[in-house]
Amino acid sequence: MSDDQKPDVTVPEKGERVAKLLARAGLCSRRDAERWIAEGRVSLRGTVLKSPAINVVDPSELTVNGKPLPGAERSRLFRYHKPVGLVTTHRDEKGRPTVFDSLPKALPRVISVGRLDLNSEGLLLLTNDGELARKMELPANGWLRRYKVRVHGHIDPAQLESLANGVTIEGISYGPIEAVLERQQGANAWIVVSLREGKNREIRRVMQHLQLPVSRLIRLAYGPFQLGSLKGGDIEEVPPRVLRDQLSITDANHRRQTSRP
């Protein structure tokens, strides 16, 4: 093996991947951790890492931007009512206000579980644990996301029912969507939409495909967690016991599904 083919540090046989440790420490998501490694911001025992494919036994040997990893906090989850006009990112290249700029200063550093676009509102889950965020976003968990959607146009119930079979738009396949008319108000209608996948701008694209442009989109629930009575801009922590219980139920359901013949 030539010098430039040698790994930049010795890889232990045990331990956990670097990106997972950074995410668990609440510094960033696993994807951001991989980007930080590529940018040369992460070191192990003083050696700058060049690849995320490194297992680490002792997290205290890691540094990020020259600083040791903070001690891992307990996993925390927050329900936040995102208002319209905020982007779900830590830094916006266009200088628009972000969700994270609006949060109370006393909060730990948090990342979002999924996203809501600039013009969408409602429930956004926030956590200090990047590994927990990744777990909650996995399609395999099958968590239902429920939305209340206002569209412009008159509803054809058959059109909405057809979404239960999924739909392909411009080469992108969307999974089954449950869409139920709540009420028609003149030229506008309110629809309750439920889905399990949640691709980028999925509801807006699907409704536009049906000639029903969306004028308001509110997320009501993400899995077992509800928007409830939270007002715009309000945030509330999910009690640790509730978080543990819900994750245990999800894990048990996932094990049952994967063990079926």
Asked whether residue 230 is assigned to any structural domain, the reply reads no
Same domain, 62 and 119: no
pLDDT band at 4 (very low <50, low <70, confident <90, very high): very low
Could you tell me if 63 and 10 lie in one domain? yes
In the structure encoding, which two tokens stand for residue 246, read together?
């819900």
Residues 114 and 155 in one domain: no
Q: Which residues contact 128 (CB under 8 A, 6 or more apart)?
A: 26, 73, 75, 76, 108, 109, 110, 111
Across the range 13-39, mean pLDDT stands at 83
Q: Are residues 152 and 211 in the same domain?
A: yes
For 58-104, the three-class secondary structure string (H helix, E strand, C coil) is CHHHEEECCEECCCCCCCCEEEEEECCCCECCCCCCCCCCECCCCCC
- Interval 197-207: pLDDT, tens: 878 899 999 99
CATH number of the domain bearing residue 11 = 3.10.290.10
> What average pLDDT does this structure show over 109-116?
91
211: CATH:
3.30.70.1560
pLDDT recorded at residue 215: 97
Q: Can you give the pTM of this predicted structure? A: 0.75
Give the model's confidence band at 10: pLDDT under 50 very low, under 70 low, under 90 confident, else very high: very low
Last residue of a domain, one of 18, 44, 68: 68
Q: What is the pLDDT of residue 2?
A: 40
- pLDDT one-digit tens code per residue, 82-98: 999 999 988 888 999 99
Percent of the chain beyond pLDDT 70? Answer: 90
Q: Is 117 annotated as catalytic?
A: yes
pLDDT (tens digit per residue) in 157-176: 999 999 999 999 999 999 99
Residue 251 lies in a domain: yes
From the candidates 117, 234, 245, 251, give the one annotated as an active-site residue. 117
**In the chain, % of residues over pLDDT 90:** 59
**Rounded Cα–Cα distance for residues 228 and 151 (Å):** 22
pLDDT 10s digits, 207-255: 999 999 999 999 999 999 999 999 999 999 999 999 988 888 766 655 5
Query: Considering its fold, how many domains does the chain have in total?
Result: 3
Residues 21 and 36 placed together within one structural domain of the fold: yes
Q: How confident is residue 6, by pLDDT bands cut at 50, 70 and 90?
A: very low
Domain span including residue 197: 144-222
Same domain for 101 and 47 = no
The verdict on residue 148 lying in a domain is yes
Q: How confident is the model at residue 8 (pLDDT cuts 50, 70, 90)?
A: very low
Looking at the fold, whether 131 and 85 belong to one and the same domain comes out as: yes
In a domain, 150, yes or no: yes
pLDDT category, 75, cuts 50, 70, 90? confident
Q: What is the pLDDT of residue 153?
A: 96
29 and 150 in a single domain? The answer is no
Supply the mean pLDDT for the chain: 87
> Looking at the structure, do residues 164 and 109 belong to the same domain, yes or no?
no
19 in a domain, yes or no? yes
> Would you state the pLDDT for residue 255?
56
Q: Is 56 exposed, middle or buried (0-12, 13-18, 19+ CB in 10 A)?
A: buried
Q: How far apart are CA 170 and CA 8, in angstroms?
A: 44
Give the lowest-confidence range in 58-67, 131-140, 170-179: 131-140
Cα separations in angstroms, 123 against 116, 126, 153, 212, 225: 9, 10, 26, 23, 9
